Amino acid sequence: MSSIIWEVNRFKNEVGVRAASADHDTDEMKKAESFHKSMPGYDRTPLAELKNLSDVLGLGSIYVKDESERFGLNAFKGLGASYAMAKYFAGRLDIELADFTFDELLGRIPGHPPVIFSTATDGNHGKGVAWASELFKQKSRVYMPEGTADSRLDAVLEYGAGGAVTEMNYEDTVEYVREISRKNGWVHIQDTSWEGYTELPMYIMQGYMTIIAEIEGQLQGRRLSGVSHIILQAGVGSFAGAMAAAVYNLTDGRPPHIIVVEPQRADCLHRSAKSEDGRPVRVHGSLDSMMAGLSCGAPNPADWEILKSVADGFASCADSISATGMRILGNPAGEDSKVISGESGALPLGFLYEVMTNEEYGNLKEELGLDAGSSVLTISTEGDTDPVNYRSVVWGERTGTDKMDGGKYMTEIKGE
């Protein structure tokens, strides 16, 4: 099987993207950025321009937004979790969040019944939920799918959460948490939506838009309108959908070429793009990939509506593509900045490198219009969140591990 399987998006629709992205306009983006700026530990994450690599690949410019430094969490997910919690509390208090800083909001919460936030996660989202819960002086319960690295569970426990690794895949773990949250009265804070559960996922996506607000400022005079291509990695699609919507609205409906990349064993968006009717398609069974943060089998319906309306196409990628990106970013060309990028974070750069250097993808390179005039933006969404695998990949030849399918049983809950 080819390392990259490409599907052109046949469902692009300007009317559809305007409707689907309405909750992610520039006003909402500025509100999210303003609130995040008031939070303890906030700092704008770096935007690196890889000038030497762009010369090597024959491109005009390559930018990498490095989210490994976000709130000390080694990943971007804290943006969504913290903003969703802030919006949740603002709703309970019947106030407009835009009128309050983090400290002002926190001062209003005491006296109200405490909350237990729950979630299912491949790692980074759960860590963001645990961190934000501690920040808001609440509790959390975090459940992870089969095969989750011990380091990812340990990272959650460090923030006082109760945590467990299940013997189910990601989607089944989400459904499990959905049910036990309903029974226990917990607030389920999940980065995907379903019928009757759309508000908190929308808030999470709005929180992610702070990334685009920062990039627009960091590009200064060049601005996003000068970027020709943006490559976005996707699991359920919340991150990619939020980025695509924000970019679409910020460029007045004239976005760059948007390319979505996924793991081959969890390529639900790619398969949805191949469907006859454009409806979301779920991938069942084991979703094993070293790209744990992207190993999701069912698209977020709201995000799929955005991406199918605006993306140019969807690429299903082998683990080896991510490994290539990890090695290149960790061992930069010339005087380019070094970026410690984990398995999910490095996939866009790995895709770009493979398309530009492998003759097998010459037609795809031409179809995408990648040439000396191209300015390409990627976002490294995580650092070395699995340190053992990161070192193995960057120092050696490992590109992932095969894991046996699990059953339906829960391991012991740890923490708290």
Catalytic residue (one of 77, 127, 139, 365): 77
77 is catalytic: yes
Radius of gyration of the CA atoms of the chain, in A: 20
Cβ atoms of residues 378 and 384 within 8 Å: no
172 is catalytic: no
The DSSP string of 346-383 is SHHHHHHHHHHH-GGGHHHHHHHT-STT-EEEEEE-BS
Positive or negative: CA dihedral 148, 319, 386, 121: negative
Nearest to 82 by CA among 177, 182, 189: 189
3-state class (DSSP) for residue 194: strand
Nearest to 171 by CA among 130, 121, 129: 121
Catalytic residue (one of 122, 172, 191, 267): 122
Q: Which residue has the tokens 């189910």?
A: 168
Degrees to nearest 5, angle at CA 120 with 270 and 284: 40
Rounded to whole angstroms, how far apart are CA atoms 140 and 159? 9
What is the Cα 170 distance to its own chain's centre? 15
Rounded to whole angstroms, how far apart are CA atoms 70 and 345? 13
Q: What are phi and psi of 147, to 5 degrees?
A: 80, 0
Q: Which residue has the tokens 């030497």?
A: 52
Cβ atoms of residues 104 and 89 within 8 Å: no
From residue 322, alpha-carbon distances to 288, 358, 411 in Å are 14, 15, 30
Cβ atoms of residues 201 and 22 within 8 Å: no
Rounded to whole angstroms, how far apart are CA atoms 321 and 235? 16
Rounded to whole angstroms, how far apart are CA atoms 387 and 404? 22
Rounded to whole angstroms, how far apart are CA atoms 57 and 180? 50
Q: Which residues are part of the catalytic machinery? A: 77, 122
